[in-house]
Each structure stands twice: as structure tokens, then as C-alpha cells.
Amino acid sequence: MIARRYSYTLIVLALLVVVLIILRMQLPSLVKDYLNDKMADMGNYQGEIADVDIHLWRGAYSVDQLEITKKDQPSVVFFKAETIDTSVSWTALLRGKIVADVDLINAEIHLVDDKADDKPVEESTWRQTVQEIIPLKIDRLNIDNGEIHFHNFKSDPPVHLVFHQLNGEITNLSNADRSDGLEYADFDLQGLLFDNANANLNGELDPLGDFHNFALNLKITGIELTRLNEVSEAYGNFNFKSGKGDFVMELQAEDAQLTGYAKPILDNVEIFDLEKDLEEGIFNAAWQAIVGAFGRIFRNDPRDRIATQIEIRGDLDDPDVSAWQAFLAILQNAFVNAFESDFGRETDPESSPSQNNKSDESETRSQSEPESDADTDSVDCSLRPMWEQCD
């Protein structure tokens, strides 16, 4: 009787083990089908993954070859990642909290400036999908070798910028219901812009929010200005012949009201290439001569430095366009207005640009550095990059 009872128990255990093994073998496929079903309809977006791996021993799973596209532009990738590894944070679990750590490996996000696509997107569907796919709070999202691409396919010339070799982390990501208020996440990223310029991007925002409340700080050092020609020609109708520079931008949005400033600090700038532009046409050459004159007016000897602060402000809440397109339009208008404002300044060499009368609507402040070696000890600190110390 006892032997028969033991045999029955062993058979049950054996069957249970077999069922668990089969379930373990089928689990990746079941999870993959579940995720693909959820991502098939995310409002204006759709997504698909190639494979899922389950790591029960460490409470984790990884998604391979994730790709998200817009439904009306399936050929343009919005987001893709080689691997997304999600694991339970054992440290947090010991404190009684269920949160996850995520490693994002070789991921890319593609942002497009397209005025033909100005209408706001359906936000609620993709937010709900994200909340269902990742039901845990993410304590830390680590980014390993990521890229941020910015495109304008319709400009002349087309613009393609890449923020690559991107590394850093985003913390305190929450999928909680936003009806009780925003859930801000902090981010700190480092990488390269224009292939050679070191860039740091940090701030806070709600990734599941409406892009109406955020803080953003961008610092770029060591820019070779000729690498900006694609952008300067498309948005400003001029180009650089030579020069280097740094760039700082600080922005803050509160209740859709965007405020902040940008400060380009450029050295040894040459903008106008007469020989090249005469070949392209007299009107283009004349325009670039004006832009070149701007550089000469505000160049500060003896270091041939151009330093300008551009005030940025605007409203992100526009019913006719998305918050992203409103954001891009505000930035573009601020920079264009800055150039146009400074073209109108007096060019008397004895007067300092900082002494010119300014209206309340002025978007730009420019100041001169000392022109003689004897005055180099009293350099205006406002012309220094904000990360440099100034006594």
C-alpha cells in the first residue's frame, strides 16, 4: 500500500515536471504573441518583436528586435532596439517593492520634422499599450549605445542629424494612472553630435505625459561648424566655411508655456564663401554676405568670438498641431528672429551692442568682449560657457 502511494506521488510529480517543462518551452512564444497582439494597434503606431527570451532564474525576460512604426508611414521607423532586457530589482523586492531594471541595448529613436504631419496624434492608445506591456514601475532604464535621429525629408537640403554613441540612464519611470497627476522621470545622457562634438542632455519629463511640462538642458562642446551646414542651409539659408564652437540650451515648460534660452559661442567663424556662392546665384550670395556681416559685427577680438544669447518662449498648447511640432516651430522662430533682430542693429564700431536700446520683445542679447590685451583680465563672464568658471 505504501509503495503504491509513493508510486502515485512520483507519477504526479513527474507529470507536473513535464507540464512545467512544456510550459517553459512554450512561454517565450506565448509572451511574444501577447506582446505583438498588444502592439498591433497603438493609435497611430504599430509595433512588432522578433523574439522573446525568458530567464526565470533571475526573474527577467528580454525582447529582441523590437520595431515601432507609424501606420501611415510603415517605411519610417519611429523606434527600434536590438535588445530590451527587463528584470525584477531584487534590492527593491527586499524592501517590499516590485520594480524593474531595464537595459536598452543598441536602440534608436527617429524624430521627424514634417509640417504635413502637424495634426495631434492619438495619445491615449499607445500610453495604455505601454502600461499593459510593462506593468511594473521601472526604477532604472540603462541606455547602452543608443541613437537619437532627427530628420527633415522635405527641406532643401534634407536634414539628418544623429546623436549617437548615446549612454546614460533614465530613472523613476512609472506606468501609474496619470489622472492623479504627472509622474516625472529624470534622464542624464551623454554622446556625440555631428560625429565629433561631445554632448550632454539631461532634465526631467513625463514620458507618458502630453509634453506640456518638462525641463531640458543641452550642452555641446567642440562643434566643427562646417558639420552644421546641412542644418544652416535648410533652416537659415546660409552655411559655414570654417570655425568651431560650443552650444548651451536650457528650456523649461510649465502648463504648456515654454521658456528658456540658447547660447551659441563660436570661435574663428567664416560664413561667406564668395567664390562658391557666386556660382550658386547672386541672390544667395547677397544673403550670405548679410549673414557674414552679422558675424563681423558681433565678433569679439582678440579671440574672434561670437557670443549671443537667444531667448526662447512660446505656447505648446495648439489644437491644430502636436506639441512636438509646436516645440520645433518655437525653436526655429526664436533662432530666425535672433538673426533678423541683429541684422537691424547699428554697426558703429565705437558703440557696443550691449548699449543699444532693446524692446521688450527682443529675442537676442549680444555683448562684446574686451578688445585689447590690457583688458583681458576683465572678460565679461556672460560670454563664457556656463560650465566654465569665471572670477
**Domain match, 188 and 246 both:** no
Tens digits of residue pLDDT in 298-309: 444 445 677 788
Q: How far does Cα 212 stand from its chain's mean position?
A: 15
Q: How many domains does the chain have?
A: 2
How does strand 364-366 pair with strand 299-300?
A: unpaired
- The residue among 186, 207, 228 that closes a domain is 207
- The residue among 152, 181, 207 that closes a domain is 207
CB 284 within 8 A of CB 237: yes
Nearest Cα residue to 77 out of 108, 49, 104: 108
Identify the domain containing residue 259 by its residue range. Answer: 210-354+362-371
Check residue 227 and give left, alpha or beta (phi > 0: left; psi -120 to 50: alpha).
alpha
Which stretches within 40-72 are classed as H helix?
none
Reported pTM: 0.69
**Domain match, 243 and 328 both:** yes
- The residue among 174, 207, 240 that closes a domain is 207
Q: What is the radius of gyration, based on Cα positions, of the chain?
A: 27
Nearest Cα residue to 135 out of 177, 104, 164: 177
**Domain match, 57 and 203 both:** yes
**Domain match, 240 and 131 both:** no
Tens digits of residue pLDDT in 332-381: 778 766 655 543 343 343 433 333 433 333 333 433 333 333 333 334 44
Residues with Cβ within 8 Å of 56's Cβ and at least 6 positions away in sequence, in order, are: 24
Q: For the chain, what percent of residues have pLDDT higher than 70?
A: 67
Rounded average pLDDT over 111-118: 69
pLDDT class of 95 with cuts at 50, 70, 90: confident
Tens digits of residue pLDDT in 235-245: 877 788 888 99
